[in-house]
């Protein structure tokens, strides 16, 4: 069945910028329009309409960034009837207008063509060979020499950076957390925070301190002129990034802060210098009150927060897909989840927990 739906995806991609209809897809595939629509949604977790909309608005963002083509012409090219409707759609997805994005391009989450036969599995980072970071390293060292701390999203990235000294002799620490899961508290890393996070992860406070807090010790014991935050563009990473920015703000950090967004699909790095201010309030709004913040955010963080609120719902893209595919062997189901929902950035343990919860609901 994956091959059939992949053929549908290939067909849809070939007609993104043309007049497209379910009837046309049905004729090319040899199935009824209803069957095509049903199977696409069943196997991908989203409707054809949503898939096309997200793909077109993402491809339009690349044109905005890389060319000087008129915004109205881009709108027409990607199927929007007016510049106003394009602006509304763009802002709904990225939290910023096309005009503002072109004037100041900022990191955003990619939405690439779906590949149902992608069996890479969970995040495998060969960062030492694939990241082109030499220019970034030299640029930062020219300004800050060795007074730089690299905060890396998770143990795997930390081990690769430390092993290969990818940012020279500067310091490296991992942020071993999954802030998109379990309750939290404020102040960040307070006694209450640590106890709540440990309980959520079902580990002792001592184990939480050993895994998460002890590796971060240089962050609050040394003075750094520059802190470089290495996080991906998915929801998991963006919630961790928000927490780290809020913590730096909480501590009154006065140095320079850079966000180096690592794109898993290409292993490229996109650098953005950030100004602290407002992140602690956003942290509290998002994590503690579960309200969408009014503050202006990086598009990639805006997208991450949207996904986070979807993830919090009892019925979301992931749970809906799992319920429809519980009969699959666990290994096959996990591969499909990794392939279809990379924008959430979840790992084995998170998916297994969701699958078990869905199974428990069905057994009651």
30-60 burial: b if 16+ Cβ within 10 Å, else e: ebebeebbebbbebbbbebeebbbebbbbbb
Q: Which residues pair with 259 in a beta bridge?
A: 229, 272
Segment 187-222, tens digit of pLDDT: 999 999 999 999 999 999 999 999 999 999 999 999
Q: Which residues pair with 257 in a beta bridge?
A: 227, 274
**Pair 133, 102: CB distance under 8 Å:** no
- The share of the chain scoring above pLDDT 70, in percent, equals 90
**pLDDT attached to residue 157:** 85
Q: Which residues pair with 149 in a beta bridge?
A: 171, 227
Segment 114-167, tens digit of pLDDT: 887 765 444 444 555 455 666 666 666 666 666 889 999 999 888 877 777 777
**So where are the chain's domains?**
2-103, 127-309, 313-363
Return mean pLDDT, the chain.
89
**Pair 43, 115: CB distance under 8 Å:** no
**pLDDT attached to residue 264:** 63
Protein fold of 2-103: Arc Repressor Mutant, subunit A (1.10.10)
CA dihedral 134, 136, 137, 141 (to 10 degrees): 140
Instruction: Encode the chain (364 residues) as per-residue pLDDT tens digits.
Output: 678 899 999 999 988 888 778 999 999 999 999 999 999 988 888 899 999 999 999 999 999 999 999 999 999 999 888 999 999 999 999 999 999 999 999 999 988 888 877 654 444 445 554 556 666 666 666 666 668 899 999 998 888 777 777 777 789 999 999 999 999 999 999 999 999 999 999 999 999 999 999 999 999 999 999 999 999 999 999 999 999 999 999 999 999 999 999 876 566 788 899 999 999 999 999 999 999 999 999 999 999 999 999 999 999 999 999 999 999 999 999 989 998 999 999 989 899 999 999 988 877 6
Six-digit token pair at 351?
């998916």
**pLDDT attached to residue 284:** 97
């Amino acid at each position: 069945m994956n091959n059939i739906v992949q053929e549908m995806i290939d067909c849809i991609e070939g007609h993104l910028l043309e007049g497209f209809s379910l009837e046309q897809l049905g004729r090319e595939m040899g199935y009824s329009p209803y069957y095509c629509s049903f199977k696409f949604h069943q196997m991908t977790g989203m409707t054809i309409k949503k898939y096309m909309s997200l793909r077109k608005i993402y491809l339009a963002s690349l044109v905005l960034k890389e060319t000087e083509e008129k915004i109205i012409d881009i709108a027409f090219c990607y199927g929007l009837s007016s510049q106003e409707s394009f602006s509304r759609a763009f802002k709904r997805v990225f939290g910023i207008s096309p005009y503002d994005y072109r004037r100041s391009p900022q990191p955003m989450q990619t939405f690439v063509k779906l590949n149902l036969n992608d069996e890479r599995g969970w995040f495998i980072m060969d960062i030492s060979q694939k990241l082109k970071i030499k220019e970034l390293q030299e640029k930062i060292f020219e300004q800050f020499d060795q007074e730089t701390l690299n905060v890396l999203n998770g143990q795997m990235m930390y081990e690769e950076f430390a092993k290969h000294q990818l940012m020279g002799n500067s310091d490296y620490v991992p942020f071993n957390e999954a802030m998109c899961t379990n309750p939290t508290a404020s102040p960040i890393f307070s006694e209450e925070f640590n106890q709540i996070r440990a309980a959520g992860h079902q580990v002792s406070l001592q184990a939480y301190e050993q895994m998460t807090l002890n590796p971060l010790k240089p962050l609050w014991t040394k003075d750094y002129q520059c802190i470089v935050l290495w996080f991906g563009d998915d929801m998991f990473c963006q919630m961790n990034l928000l927490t780290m920015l809020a913590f730096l703000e909480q501590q009154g950090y006065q140095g320079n802060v850079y966000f180096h967004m690592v794109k898993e699909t290409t292993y490229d790095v996109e650098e953005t210098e950030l100004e602290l201010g407002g992140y602690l309030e956003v942290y509290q709004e998002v994590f503690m009150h579960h309200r969408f913040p009014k503050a202006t955010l990086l598009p990639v963080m805006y997208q991450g927060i949207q996904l986070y609120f979807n993830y919090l719902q009892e019925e979301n893209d992931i749970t809906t897909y799992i319920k429809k595919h519980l009969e699959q062997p666990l290994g096959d189901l996990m591969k499909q989840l990794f392939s279809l929902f990379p924008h959430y950035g979840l790992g084995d343990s998170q998916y297994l927990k969701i699958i078990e919860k869905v199974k428990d609901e069905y057994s009651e």
